[in-house]
């Protein structure tokens, strides 16, 4: 029975992305369980929210390896602070398993920070290009089913002459972030909107506009003591008819000065649910910060009905952030004509 379920799920994973190419595109965007470690994909207004001169980040996600070729997602970002604004770049790559649907997106990120009635206000925007490619010839179509052999024959015409192998379109994302900084309790709220211009994302000759996706994340940074902080946080995402809620918390332990220059350790847990649907996954997160490097690892344990086929194996992620120090001149000399 488990083998049959795995086979049916594998077929579903092959057919579903193909149906997106022919019918209106309703596919979901790239998303991470360690969204805190991928700030530029969470909210364009998260740019510049760090202590240092510049920041580089990378995150990798692998999902559903137990039932098909893994779905893999990668995000790489770089940002730098300037006198009046923060600028950066973020690159995303998403590969959807056996169907060989590849998505590549490159955005330029621009952010501003202001003070407003005792609040820290951040505004951000992303403008970029998205490229999607699918190997149409590697897929099987209804017209290629050979009733004599009972199998698909790739040598038969697929009857889908209007499907393109790739598409390219511009994209625009916007975000806002608010936080009240204090010694003990620092609440924060972020709102971001992706695909503001509703770009055409159709592989056929028809126009199919990509709906906007909205993220809302809120939480509190609660400093329990000089060495311990607790951060409960919620992320809600909405894209067309898809709803997702990630709710959880992180605990941080800040270390005393040591030979390794390790600064902190952190652990966390999250639950992912579809709001009105079954709970999808339970997530555990751990990591540490040493010198200017923050490294994290997480694992999604599948608890939905899909767990029968995946043996509860959902996804794992690796993240890395490096923050560059601010260079300050050791000595300032002012020429004087008197001497």
33-58 pLDDT, tens per residue?
999 999 999 999 999 999 889 999 99
Select the more confidently predicted residue: 240 or 153: 240
Domains and CATH numbers, the chain: 2-324 (2.40.160.40)
Q: Which tokens hold the place of 277? A: 């649907």
- Write down the pLDDT at residue 56: 97
**pLDDT band per the 50, 70, 90 thresholds, residue 239:** confident
- Write down the pLDDT at residue 19: 37
- Write down the pLDDT at residue 14: 39
Select the more confidently predicted residue: 61 or 156: 61
- The residues with which 61 forms a beta bridge, in sequence order, are 73, 317
Average pLDDT, the chain: 83
Q: Quick check: 300 pLDDT over 70?
A: yes
**pLDDT band per the 50, 70, 90 thresholds, residue 137:** low
Among 83-92, 140-149, 195-204, the range with the most confident prediction by mean pLDDT is 83-92
- Write down the pLDDT at residue 7: 42
Select the more confidently predicted residue: 2 or 106: 106
Q: Quick check: 72 pLDDT over 60?
A: yes
- Mean per-residue pLDDT for 95-123? 89
State the Cα–Cα distance between residues 59 and 80, nearest whole angstrom.
Answer: 19
Query: What percent of the chain is predicted at pLDDT more than 70?
Result: 77
Q: Quick check: 204 pLDDT over 90?
A: no
- Write down the pLDDT at residue 54: 95
Q: Quick check: 248 pLDDT over 80?
A: yes
- Mean per-residue pLDDT for 297-307? 81
- Mean per-residue pLDDT for 222-237? 96
- Mean per-residue pLDDT for 99-116? 90
Select the more confidently predicted residue: 202 or 72: 72
SS3 of the chain: CHHHHHHHHHHHHHHHHHHHHHCCCCCCCCCCCCHHHCHHHHCHHHCCCCCCCEEEEEEEEEECCCCCCCEEEEEEEEEEECCCCEEEEEEEEEEEHHHCEEEEEEEEEEEEEEEECCEEEEEEEEEEEEEEEECHHHCCCHHHEECCCCEECCCCCCCCCCCCCEEEEEEEEEEEEEECCCCCEEEEEEEEEECCCCCECCCCCCCCECCCEEEEEEEEEEEEECCEEEEEEEEEEEECCEEEEEEEEEEEEECCCCCCCEEEEEEEEEEEECCCCCEEEEEEEEEEEECCEEEEEEEEEECCCCHHHHCCEEEEEEEEEEEECCCCCCCCCCCCCCC
pTM of this prediction exceeds 0.75: yes
Q: Which tokens hold the place of 205? A: 């000759």
- Specify the range with the lowest mean pLDDT, choosing from 17-31, 91-105, 238-252: 17-31
- Specify the range with the lowest mean pLDDT, choosing from 37-41, 74-78, 122-126, 200-204: 200-204
Q: Quick check: 11 pLDDT over 50?
A: no
- Mean per-residue pLDDT for 273-295? 89
**pLDDT band per the 50, 70, 90 thresholds, residue 78:** very high
Among 98-112, 182-196, 205-219, 318-332, the range with the most confident prediction by mean pLDDT is 182-196
CB 178 within 8 A of CB 119: yes
Among 221-230, 238-247, 303-312, the range with the most confident prediction by mean pLDDT is 221-230
Q: Quick check: 258 pLDDT over 60?
A: yes
């Amino acid at each position: 029975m488990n083998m049959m379920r795995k086979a049916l799920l594998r077929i579903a994973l092959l057919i579903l992305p193909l149906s997106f190419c022919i019918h209106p595109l309703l596919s979901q965007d790239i998303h991470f369980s360690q969204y805190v470690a991928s700030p530029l994909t969470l909210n364009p207004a998260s740019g510049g929210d760090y202590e240092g001169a510049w920041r580089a980040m990378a995150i990798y996600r692998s999902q559903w390896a137990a039932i098909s070729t893994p779905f893999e997602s990668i995000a790489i970002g770089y940002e730098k602070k300037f006198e009046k604004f923060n600028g950066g770049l973020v690159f995303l790559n998403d590969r959807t398993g056996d169907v060989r649907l590849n998505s590549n997106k490159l955005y330029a990120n621009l952010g501003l920070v202001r003070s407003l009635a005792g609040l820290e206000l951040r505004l951000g925007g992303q403008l970029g290009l998205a490229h999607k490619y699918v190997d149409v010839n590697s897929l099987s179509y209804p017209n290629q089913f050979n009733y004599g052999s009972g199998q698909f024959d790739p040598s038969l015409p697929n009857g889908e002459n209007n499907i393109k192998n790739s598409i390219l379109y511009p994209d625009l994302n916007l975000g806002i972030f608010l936080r009240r900084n204090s010694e003990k309790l620092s609440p924060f709220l972020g709102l971001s909107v992706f695909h503001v211009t509703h770009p055409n994302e159709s592989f056929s000759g028809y126009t199919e506009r990509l709906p906007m996706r909205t993220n809302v994340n809120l939480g509190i940074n609660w400093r329990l003591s000089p060495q311990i902080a607790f951060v409960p946080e919620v992320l809600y995402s909405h894209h067309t008819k898809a709803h997702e809620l990630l709710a959880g918390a992180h605990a941080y332990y800040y270390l005393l000065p040591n030979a390794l220059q390790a600064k902190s350790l952190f652990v966390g847990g999250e639950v992912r649910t579809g709001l009105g649907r079954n709970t999808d996954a339970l997530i555990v997160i751990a990591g540490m910060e040493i010198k200017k490097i923050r490294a994290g690892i997480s694992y999604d344990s599948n608890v939905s009905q899909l767990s029968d086929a995946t043996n509860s194996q959902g996804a794992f992620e690796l993240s890395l952030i490096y923050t560059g120090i601010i260079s300050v001149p050791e000595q300032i000399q002012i020429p004087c004509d008197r001497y």
